[in-house]
């Protein structure tokens, strides 16, 4: 189990949910992991503890990915602790379910600033650190990119934008030995889907009914695919949008 031995990885938004699981799976495969968080210092500390208790290597670093100064600091601290970066996972993201009447400049900018601008800022910083050895970027998109949902016009648009960035940059960065792919999770049980009220709701029942494999996804369903894309097993894979969703066909 050492597909990522000694690789240096940043996972944004890794204090909980899908990001926390990716951080743990990366560390279990030998990566040195930076567990980024915005507000959940305690959650990030618990993820680091789980990793180190398991014999892995990790630190937590604060940083709001939508703020350039925070991103610069995140990458500086990573380099100081572990050396140059090998893998960036853009997982930090927020989702709001809001009918068009409720969409505001505020909710538009909050989602686009974190989900899209945040990913561009981290990618810029990562490309600088990858240097001649190249690197690997995984963008956590959503099935909502391919299948935009009612009350998710802005959120779905952020993920479609992220996928466009994946494909554009695969063409731009391939010559620098940088691979970049999107993972499109289906509905996944996380702290986020609990606090947003999805879990236990009629919407959850509908999501499961529309998922051929008949359940909500779990964070580890996504983390295992992130390990694959980050590893040399996927050395010939770039510019792809990979659905990891139990086959969900609608929201
Ligand atoms: N769960 C699903 O059903 C699902 C489906 C498809 C795609 N996704 C995508 O998967 C990703 C993770 O979702 P999740 O359900 O695991 O979310 P979650 O449980 O709500 O966790 C979100 C994570 O993102 C972090 N974060 C939020 N804003 C940030 C910022 N400005 N800078 C840095 N970190 C920030 C949070 O950190 P703090 O707690 O420290 O603020 C937290 O660690 C998101 O991009 C989401 O769009 C989720």
Compute the distance between CA of residue 230 and CA of residue 135 in angstroms, rounded to an integer.
9
Taking phi over 0 as left and psi of -120 to 50 as alpha, with beta for the rest, 167 belongs to alpha
For ligand 1, atom 36: residue with the closest CA: 13
For ligand 1, atom 18: residue with the closest CA: 192
The finding on whether 19 has its CB within 6 A of some atom of ligand 1 is yes
Interval 58-95: pLDDT, tens: 999 999 999 999 999 999 999 999 999 999 999 999 99
pTM metric for this prediction: 0.99
Write down the mean pLDDT value for the chain: 97
pLDDT reported for residue 169: 99
Domain layout of the chain by residue ranges: 8-190+220-241
Interval 2-11: pLDDT, tens: 999 999 999 9
Compute the distance between CA of residue 241 and CA of residue 143 in angstroms, rounded to an integer.
10
Which whole number is the average pLDDT over 139-149? 97
Segment (H or E) for 36: strand 32-37
The CATH code for residues 8-190+220-241 is: 3.40.50.720
Nearest CA to 135 out of 144, 145, 125 is that of 125
pLDDT reported for residue 69: 98
Q: Does the active-site annotation cover 25?
A: no
Compute the distance between CA of residue 24 and CA of residue 2 in angstroms, rounded to an integer.
13
């Amino acid at each position: 189990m050492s597909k990522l031995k000694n690789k240096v990885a940043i996972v944004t938004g890794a204090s909980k949910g899908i990001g926390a699981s990716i951080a743990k799976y990366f560390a279990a495969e030998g990566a040195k992991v930076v567990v980024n968080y915005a507000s959940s210092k305690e959650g990030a500390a618990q993820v680091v503890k789980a990793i180190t208790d398991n014999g892995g290597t990790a630190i937590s670093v604060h940083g709001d990915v939508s703020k350039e100064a925070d991103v610069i600091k995140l990458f500086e601290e990573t380099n100081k602790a572990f050396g140059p970066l090998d893998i960036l996972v853009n997982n930090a993201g927020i989702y709001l379910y809001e009918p068009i009447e409720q969409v505001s400049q505020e909710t538009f900018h909050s989602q686009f600033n974190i989900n899209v601008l945040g990913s561009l800022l981290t990618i810029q910083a990562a490309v600088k650190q990858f240097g001649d050895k190249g690197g690997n970027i995984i963008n956590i998109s959503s099935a909502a990119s391919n299948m935009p949902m009612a009350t998710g016009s802005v959120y779905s648009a952020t993920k479609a934008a992220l996928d466009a960035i994946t494909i554009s940059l695969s063409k731009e960065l391939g010559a620098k030995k940088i691979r970049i792919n999107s993972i499109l999770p289906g509905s996944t049980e996380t702290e986020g889907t609990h606090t947003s009220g999805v879990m236990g709701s009629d919407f959850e029942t509908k999501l499961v009914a529309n998922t051929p494999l008949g359940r909500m996804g779990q964070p580890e369903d996504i983390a295992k695919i992130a390990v694959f894309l980050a590893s040399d097993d996927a050395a010939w894979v770039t510019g792809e949008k990979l659905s990891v969703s139990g086959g969900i066909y609608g929201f």
